[in-house]
Structure 1
Amino acid sequence: MNYTLRKAVETKNEQALIESLDLSRQKTVDPTQYELIEEALLGTWHSQHEDLVNMIYLENLKDDRFINPILKIALDGDVFRPYDDELESTLRKCVHALKTIDSVKANLALIKLESLNNDNVKTTLDMYKK
């Protein structure tokens, strides 16, 4: 994945990013790739933000450098979540990813999201209160 992800980010190639995300499901994500993931999260040259955030959640990637990009994705739906419908699946995955990171900074980001009084944020956070 490293070469393909690096190539995708450096060339801002969405198809290469999609391929690297498919490969990531077969291999463990290496911490040396976190910088590339962070850059891809902030990229406006692709529409794979949901898959990137989901990868952080599913692969249990815990790194504070992901928090600001995840928060930006959650807060700027027009740019980063144009395909979210009323269920806001990408926004929900942002909450899951922040809960996965589970640091002081991630918890502050969750408080910020909770203050939006968004039903999808509330529903997702309620899953963790049980």
Structure 2
Amino acid sequence: MTTDRVQIRLQDPEALGELLGRVRADVAGVAGLVVTSRDGIVVAADLDPGTPNPGDAADQSAAMAAASAGIGQRFVQASDHGRLQSVVLEGERGCVGVQPLSGTLLLVVLGSRDTVMGRFTVAVKQVLNRLLAPTTD
């Protein structure tokens, strides 16, 4: 029952966009969130207002997330480590994470500048908990 409500919320782009905005504002260390299909099509996004060309940034994030999740899944399977749980990339000024949300959706979490890996890991878990929490009607 709860799973159905979560699934409906994740598949409603307008409601999902509003939820992403609230979550991004509430979780420290997160500069942007993009929900994408596994083939790289943006479902909903909320990026930091200072992001240049937010539509392009969301599209690029979605495409790269789909590619990295595909490669990550293959790598995890080839090394006999089960199913992909996440792909996390650490740059010199922050982190980017890709998390499966469902069989058809991925979540891209863009870390704030200078967010370190440990803090980013906590932020990603907070984001996932908020997005996948049961709705209260």
**Does the pair score TM above 0.5?**
no
Q: Give the structure, 1 or 2, with the largest relative contact order (CA under 8 Å, sep 6 or more).
A: 2
Q: Higher strand fraction: Structure 1 or Structure 2?
A: 2
Q: Given the two structures, how large is their TM-score scaled by the length of structure 2? A: 0.24
Q: Given the two structures, how large is their TM-score scaled by the length of structure 1? A: 0.25
